[in-house]
Chains A and B, each alone.
Chain A
Amino acid sequence: MPKYQKWFRRWFNNPKQQEDSQEKQSSVELLPVYPSIQDNLTFLKNAFGHSSDLQIQELTIGKSPTVRIGIAYIDSLVNADKVMTLIKDLLGKELTQPNETHPHSHVRDWIKENLTVVGDMKEIRDWNRVSKMLLSGHTVVFVDGTNQAVSGDTSSVEHRAVTEPKTQIATKGPNEGFTESLRTNISLIRKRIKSPNLRVKKKPIGQVTRTDVALLYMEGIANPKVVKEVKKRLENINTDKILDTGEIGEWIEDQKFTLFPTLVSYERPDSIVSHLAEGRVAILVDGTPYAIAVPVTFLKILQSAEDYFMRYDLASVLRLLRIVAFMISLYGSAMYIALTAFHQEMLPTSLLISIGAQRQGVPFPVMVEALLMEGTFEILREAAVRAPRALGQPLAIMGAVVIGETAVVAGLVSPIMVIVVAITGISSYVAPEAAVTITSRILRFGFMLISGVFGLYGILLVTIAMVAHMQSLRSFGVPYLAPISPLVWSDLKDSVVRLPHWMLSNRPHELKPQRLWRIKYKVGDRVEYDD
């Protein structure tokens, strides 16, 4: 045991080594800016290791009192036009008479006051900020003789335009999807919530990438305890890079070892807005079009954004259908194994005869046959997702012909097995959330194995274990199976079915929102919105 622990610590959790490296890096950055621009620029060049896209220019501005200034920016992050205007502006303008005592700080103030061509002017005192500003696309101006620098926003980062979401497709409702730019994503949310109570808290995470992570919530609706908890967990992330919300998710999940997703990522701003309005917290990450909403429950994950846009009766039927499909994708092949290997008395006679005849000459027992087919199907599916688009067609043909047709003709599998695999495979894609799809895909194999050993009895045992496990899950303190367990009658209105919007007067109890009622009514008065 101690040996194992040692090994574990060395590989996963070596605090000593980590601290060392951290000190090395940050100690450089916390130095103050030097008063001489020559020193500054040399230091900067060294700090960036003479990176070829770090551009540095020295200029002399003003006529009678001349001042040396240094301009630094990173070529690949800035808009060249903006930098050009900035430089022109600096050169073209006449300096006012300098203050006798502090000639150089005067210049700095002058720059700050007169340079309006670029936004977000900031004073900088230390190298930490300098490098940060440079890396987020700002242009930093050093003034000779002062130990302060000024930065202006000249950033222009390449990113996609707002397009339709790729994964969470809806036939009804808004069709905008998030992009890779955090700014755009926040603006997509802001423009849907016209309330000052929408709070956006940004924080860079990742020692190397310094990715901006934004925390969004509605002040006055979201439970402050949940907000605090999310903040705390975000602060505790200790990593070098963050590229996607999925990485954040793994750090902040309640239960790390579970097949069930306890947070969901959305590509649709409207989904995130509806979560925010219900009192959830959203986490957006710069550089990815997926945003996380927490806390979520299992039933919430099985819901689609569309459910709220189409008529409630249709939405309810579709939700039921989705739950049934999830069950089929979980139990389909396992049930087939159990029925054909253990409980033949449960099949209608003619079906039994037909299956029996089809299985004649198949060299494997039902379970092996099913595992083979499901495994092949999974491989095929994974290949189809990863393969270059040009290969899609041949892959589909190979899958359909080789697996569907030839394997049957060759007598390796029975035709009914192909049907079962196809039905369970398609059913797993009905779930609107990819995470649930993967859950059912993995759990299916467990169910198949146990049903091959114990039949329906085994399926029942594993189901009991699975439900017990789901029952134990929490998403930021919210029971995973709410509102069914613990049962909250008034929340069942928006769970397995969805009642009309005018009946959904309260926010979900399980979130413990600050304001439970969506709308405040005054008797005999107009409806007043509560925000």
Chain B
Amino acid sequence: MIKYGLILSLLFFPLFMTGCTGYHQDIDQLAIVSAMGVDKAANGQYRVSFQVINSSQIASTKTGGGGGKSVPVVVYTDTGKTLIEAIRKASQQVTKRLYFSHQQGVIIEEKVARAGLKDVFDILERNIQQRLQLNVLIARRGTAEDILKVLIPTEMLPGSRVGEALKTSSRVLGETLESNVRDVVHGLTDDGIEPAISGIELIGKDEQGQSMSNLQESRPVAYTRINGIALFRDGKLQKWMEGNTARGAVTLLDRLKNTVVNINCGDKKDALAIEITHARTKLGADMNKGKPVLTVQMAFLGNVYEADCPIQLNDQETIDRLQHRLEREMKREVLSAVKTAQKEKCDIFGFGETLHRSQPQRWKTIRNRWNPIFSKAEVRVRAKAIIDHAGLRFDPFWSSK
């Protein structure tokens, strides 16, 4: 009996040892931060900006009651040696308590990224309010603060726009990466892999973009664009990849969801568009007589999306040819991405990690000089593409006789 009592009480006490209590905060006393920006200030300080949601404004617009009277978000800025210092100092301006759990994105100025990301990410990973799924972006043109200040008509929450826009462009175009805090920290800490982060740029006059007048233009004077992928080495930004090279990088990371690839059609250049609906990539790394060999295996499933040339799409041979061309095109893009990365000695694809997993003993001997080894490695790419249909018709309507 005593024994059972002891066991029961031992099971009972852990109930009171959790850390899940004592965070009472009423919902209306929170300043919900939708996005955060980190810029470099003078004398080595950080300049941190928060986009805080003006919830009554957003809710009243939703119900259709007028709206548009005041701005949907407010941006607060302050500087500090550490990020938390800046955050706490900003509370002098904000009436409510800053609440980070619903943040949609963190924007980091390119200057900060070039100087090194490690300091910025500690707080993002350590703070209990922060989510690891938080999207990370690098501000390419304009400061993070300016980007946060831009209001655009279709989105009530510019902060959530950052996350949504990144998601949409990554899933439709495939030239940007949805990298979140977890990915970045993984890239920063693990051997044999480096982080890769997409960029965001501010286009137009930022001064006007910050006022409500921007919301009344059918063509906003200022807007933001997600563009490019930044390559890092040792947590420092090295180079930007854009366009097809960026898509190659996304393919290599096995993060390609959906994209459209143009291939030549007879003599006409880039006249046929193929939509890739499924893509799968497998990386391999091996050491061959002291020299590393990197292998890439890719498989694509696609369909003909647009054909601007006379072509017989009901013919299997034509389809075979198109599949072959698609494979070649994708190989070219992937190779260009690998070459760029090799030139910068930035193994963002994690070939080193693959090698670590397959040959842990060998890895120990080369881990310290992996980046130079990677840059000289031989790359072999194999691709297999299948085009399974051509939409609602075979030939273009004008070519049928």
Residues of A that sit less than 8 Å from B by CB: 340-342, 344-345, 349, 352-360, 362, 365-366, 454-458, 461, 464
Bound CA span A513–B99, Å? 60
Contact A345:B129 (CB < 8 A) given known A365-B26, A455-B20, A455-B21: yes
B30 and A356: CB pair below 8 A? Answer: yes
Q: Which of B25, B34, B53, B104 contacts A342 (CB 8 A)?
A: B25
Max chain B Cβ within 10 angstroms of own Cβ: one of A355, A357, A360: A357
Contact A358:B25 (CB < 8 A) given known A344-B99, A349-B160, A464-B15: no
B26 and A455: CB pair below 8 A? Answer: no
Contact A353:B53 (CB < 8 A) given known A360-B28, A457-B20: yes
Contacts of A354 in B (CB 8 A): 55, 59, 62
Closest B residue to A460 using CB positions: B15
A-B contact pairs, 27 of them (CB 8 A): A340-B27, A341-B25, A342-B24, A342-B25, A344-B27, A344-B99, A345-B101, A349-B102, A349-B104, A352-B32, A353-B32, A353-B53, A355-B27, A356-B27, A356-B55, A357-B55, A357-B56, A357-B58, A357-B60, A455-B21, A455-B23, A455-B24, A456-B20, A457-B18, A457-B20, A458-B21, A461-B15
Bound CA span A362–B101, Å? 23
B59 and A344: CB pair below 8 A? Answer: no
Bound CA span A355–B32, Å? 12
* Closest-CB distance, A260 to chain B (whole angstroms): 22
A353 and B55: CB pair below 8 A? Answer: yes
Contacts of B24 in A (CB 8 A): 341-342, 455
Contacts of B21 in A (CB 8 A): 454-455, 457-458
B15 and A356: CB pair below 8 A? Answer: no
Q: Which of B20, B23, B28, B102 contacts A362 (CB 8 A)?
A: B28
Contacts of B25 in A (CB 8 A): 341-342, 344
Contact with A along B42-77 (1 / 0, CB 8 A): 000000000001011011101000000000000000
Bound CA span A458–B21, Å? 8
Bound CA span A455–B26, Å? 12
Contacts of B27 in A (CB 8 A): 340-341, 344, 352, 355-356, 359, 366
B59 and A357: CB pair below 8 A? Answer: yes
Q: Which of A344, A365, A456, A458 contacts B102 (CB 8 A)?
A: A344
Max chain A Cβ within 10 angstroms of own Cβ: one of B28, B59, B131, B157: B28
Residues from 5 to 30 in B contacting A, C-beta threshold 8 Å: 15, 18, 20-21, 23-28, 30
Contacts of B101 in A (CB 8 A): 344-345
Chain B interface size, under 10 / 10 to 19 / 20 to 34 / 35 or more: 20 to 34
* Closest-CB distance, B322 to chain A (whole angstroms): 43
* Closest-CB distance, B128 to chain A (whole angstroms): 9
Closest A residue to B104 using CB positions: A349
A352 and B102: CB pair below 8 A? Answer: yes
Bound CA span A344–B55, Å? 14
Contacts of B18 in A (CB 8 A): 457
Chain A interface secondary structure, helix, strand, loop or mixed?
helix
Bound CA span A454–B21, Å? 6
Bound CA span A132–B364, Å? 102
Contacts of A340 in B (CB 8 A): 26-27
Contacts of B62 in A (CB 8 A): 354
Closest A residue to B59 using CB positions: A357
Bound CA span A349–B27, Å? 12
Contact A356:B32 (CB < 8 A) given known A340-B26, A455-B20: yes
Max chain B Cβ within 10 angstroms of own Cβ: one of A341, A344, A358: A344
* Closest-CB distance, B155 to chain A (whole angstroms): 12
Sample of 18 more A-B contacts, CB < 8 Å, known A353-B53, A365-B26: A340-B26, A340-B27, A342-B23, A349-B32, A349-B160, A352-B27, A353-B55, A353-B58, A353-B59, A357-B55, A358-B59, A359-B26, A359-B27, A360-B55, A454-B21, A455-B23, A455-B24, A457-B20
* Closest-CB distance, B58 to chain A (whole angstroms): 5
Bound CA span A340–B24, Å? 9
Closest A residue to B60 using CB positions: A357
* Closest-CB distance, A451 to chain B (whole angstroms): 11
* Closest-CB distance, B301 to chain A (whole angstroms): 33
Contacts of A454 in B (CB 8 A): 21
Closest A residue to B28 using CB positions: A359
* Closest-CB distance, B36 to chain A (whole angstroms): 15
Bound CA span A7–B34, Å? 64
Bound CA span A354–B32, Å? 12
Residues from 88 to 140 in B contacting A, C-beta threshold 8 Å: 99, 101-102, 104, 129, 131
Bound CA span A14–B160, Å? 73
* Closest-CB distance, B21 to chain A (whole angstroms): 5
Bound CA span A353–B72, Å? 11
Contacts of B104 in A (CB 8 A): 349
Contacts of A345 in B (CB 8 A): 101-102, 129, 131
Bound CA span A455–B20, Å? 9
Contacts of A349 in B (CB 8 A): 32, 34, 102, 104, 157, 160
Bound CA span A458–B28, Å? 22
Bound CA span A344–B33, Å? 12
Bound CA span A342–B157, Å? 24
Bound CA span A5–B254, Å? 78
* Closest-CB distance, A346 to chain B (whole angstroms): 9
Contact with A along B141-178 (1 / 0, CB 8 A): 00000000000000001001000000000000000000
Contacts of B15 in A (CB 8 A): 461, 464
* Closest-CB distance, B104 to chain A (whole angstroms): 7
Bound CA span A342–B59, Å? 22
Contacts of B32 in A (CB 8 A): 349, 352-353, 356
Contacts of A458 in B (CB 8 A): 21
B30 and A344: CB pair below 8 A? Answer: yes
* Closest-CB distance, B363 to chain A (whole angstroms): 39
* Closest-CB distance, B67 to chain A (whole angstroms): 12
Max chain A Cβ within 10 angstroms of own Cβ: one of B24, B62, B104: B24
Max chain A Cβ within 10 angstroms of own Cβ: one of B25, B30, B56, B160: B56
* Closest-CB distance, A422 to chain B (whole angstroms): 19
Contacts of A461 in B (CB 8 A): 15
Bound CA span A344–B53, Å? 14
Closest A residue to B12 using CB positions: A464
Closest B residue to A353 using CB positions: B55
Contacts of A456 in B (CB 8 A): 20
Contacts of B28 in A (CB 8 A): 356, 359-360, 362
Contacts of B26 in A (CB 8 A): 340-341, 359, 365-366
Bound CA span A353–B157, Å? 11
Closest B residue to A461 using CB positions: B15
* Closest-CB distance, B6 to chain A (whole angstroms): 17
* Closest-CB distance, B72 to chain A (whole angstroms): 10
Contacts of B102 in A (CB 8 A): 344-345, 349, 352
Bound CA span A340–B25, Å? 8
Max chain A Cβ within 10 angstroms of own Cβ: one of B20, B99, B160: B20
Contacts of B20 in A (CB 8 A): 455-457
Contacts of A352 in B (CB 8 A): 27, 32, 102
Bound CA span A342–B21, Å? 8
Bound CA span A457–B22, Å? 10
Which 9 pairs across A and B sit closest by C-beta, in order of nearness? A357-B59, A345-B101, A359-B28, A357-B55, A356-B55, A340-B27, A353-B55, A357-B56, A349-B102
Bound CA span A356–B97, Å? 13
Contacts of A457 in B (CB 8 A): 18, 20-21
Bound CA span A350–B255, Å? 28
* Closest-CB distance, A155 to chain B (whole angstroms): 59
Bound CA span A195–B56, Å? 71
Contacts of A353 in B (CB 8 A): 32, 53, 55, 58-59, 157
Bound CA span A457–B102, Å? 21
* Closest-CB distance, A367 to chain B (whole angstroms): 9
* Closest-CB distance, B214 to chain A (whole angstroms): 21
Contacts of A342 in B (CB 8 A): 23-25
Contacts of A360 in B (CB 8 A): 28, 55-56
Contacts of A356 in B (CB 8 A): 27-28, 30, 32, 55, 59
